[in-house]
């Protein structure tokens, strides 16, 4: 069994170290997200978007082109200050949070992006996380979310810890072994999407010198949007 813990603080500390060092593995608005938003985002005047776990803010740079009001929350203070200086958004639009308790009122957003984040959640807090996402999404609002596949290099080159759970290898970038969630099939995470109606299930594969391979989900919160 890999000598790696299973707690959120490890993943959180790893990201904070990365951003504090100035590393930025994902130096893009992710092209698969750009395509998914282009096809499914439905921005309208006054609609509000949120990115949970925005990292260095690369996806936010694209979201602000689509949505008039864009918010973001992060667990890493260094990521927050990097994104703040890169984006120049109005005060309060980007916030720190504890990784689970989303600091927004119910039914705040028309669109929520959660991209390359769910792999770092604690397995026994996944439902809590998704209940929070559902709470802050408006009825009829749309979620764009990824779930890492077991063919992703972080899982494939890592070590199995248990069902859908792997210890990553320590790469130059992560410089640490962290526990991640990874799946063979969408049926293994479908229970987390209770309260949603599926719009599109796909796959996002990106080669950044190693394969980032995720299931991609676009889903609507059940219920008609308020008129
Ligand atoms: C792989 S990065 C993805 C960044 C960005 N979404 C992108 O696609 O470029 C994962 C991000 O999730 C953040 N994060 C948010 N909630 C987290 C949580 N509960 N546990 C660990 N990391 C979390 C990390 O700080 C990190 O910035």
What are the pLDDT digits (tens) for 163-178? 999 999 877 666 678 8
Per-residue pLDDT, 29: 87
227 Cα to the center of ligand 1, angstroms: 33
The stretch 132-148 carries a mean pLDDT of 98
Residue nearest to atom 12 of ligand 1 (CA): 53
pLDDT at 202 exceeding the cut of 60: yes
Per-residue pLDDT, 226: 57
Contact predicate 8/125, CB 8 Å: yes
Reported in sequence order, the residue ranges of 39-136 that DSSP labels E, i.e. its strands, are 48-52, 69-74, 94-96, 109-114
pLDDT at 53 exceeding the cut of 90: yes
Greater confidence (223 vs 49) lies with 49
Per-residue pLDDT, 208: 79
Q: Which atom of ligand 1 approaches the CA of 98 most closely?
A: 19
Q: Which of 62-71, 105-114, 170-179, 181-190 has the lowest mean pLDDT?
A: 170-179
- Counting Cβ atoms within 10 Å, is residue 17 exposed (0-12), middle (13-18) or buried (19+)? middle
Reported in sequence order, the residue ranges of 136-210 that DSSP labels E, i.e. its strands, are 137-148, 159-162, 165-167, 179-181, 196-207
Greater confidence (11 vs 94) lies with 94
SS3 39: helix
CATH 3.40.50.150 fits 8-221, yes or no: yes
* pTM to 2 decimal places: 0.94
pLDDT at 3 exceeding the cut of 60: no
The stretch 55-77 carries a mean pLDDT of 96
Q: Give the CA distances from residue 192 to residues 2, 7, 9, 16, 141, in Å, rounded to whole numbers and listed in that order.
A: 27, 20, 22, 27, 17
Pocket of ligand 1 (CB under 6 A): 8, 11-12, 15, 26, 30, 53-55, 58-59, 74-76, 79, 99, 115-117, 120-121
HSE, side-chain direction, 13 A CA sphere, residue 148: 23
Which of 83, 66, 68 has the alpha carbon at shortest distance from 15? 83
Q: Which of 17-21, 117-121, 175-179, 194-198 has the lowest mean pLDDT?
A: 175-179
pLDDT at 72 exceeding the cut of 50: yes
The stretch 76-85 carries a mean pLDDT of 94
pLDDT at 192 exceeding the cut of 80: yes
- Residue 18: pLDDT band by 50, 70, 90 thresholds? confident
Phi and psi torsions of 14, nearest 5°: -60, -45
Which of 32, 4, 7, 12 has the alpha carbon at shortest distance from 212? 32
Measure the CA–CA gap between 9 and 7, rounded to whole angstroms. Answer: 6
Measure the CA–CA gap between 159 and 180, rounded to whole angstroms. Answer: 10
Distance from CA of residue 36 to its chain's centroid? 14
């Amino acid at each position: 069994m890999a000598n790696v813990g299973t707690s959120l603080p490890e993943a959180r500390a790893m990201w904070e170290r990365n951003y504090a060092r100035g590393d930025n593995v994902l130096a893009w608005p992710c092209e698969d997200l750009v395509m998914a938003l282009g096809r499914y985002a439905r921005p309208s005047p006054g609609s509000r978007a949120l990115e949970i776990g925005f990292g260095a803010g690369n996806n936010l740079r694209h979201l602000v082109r689509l949505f008039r009001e864009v918010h973001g929350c992060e667990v890493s203070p260094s990521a927050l200050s990097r994104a703040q200086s890169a984006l120049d958004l109005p005060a309060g639009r980007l916030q720190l949070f504890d990784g689970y308790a989303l600091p927004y009122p119910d039914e705040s957003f028309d669109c929520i992006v959660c991209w390359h984040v769910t792999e770092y959640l604690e397995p026994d807090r996944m439902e809590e996380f998704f209940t929070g996402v559902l709470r802050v999404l408006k009825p009829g609002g749309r979620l764009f979310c990824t779930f890492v596949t077991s063919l992703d290099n972080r899982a494939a080159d890592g070590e199995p810890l248990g069902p859908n759970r792997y210890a990553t290898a320590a790469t130059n970038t992560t410089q640490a072994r962290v526990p991640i969630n990874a799946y063979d099939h969408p049926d293994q995470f479908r229970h987390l999407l209770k309260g949603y109606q599926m719009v599109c299930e796909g796959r996002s594969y990106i080669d950044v010198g190693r394969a980032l391979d995720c299931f991609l989900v676009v889903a609507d919160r059940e219920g008609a949007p308020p008129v």
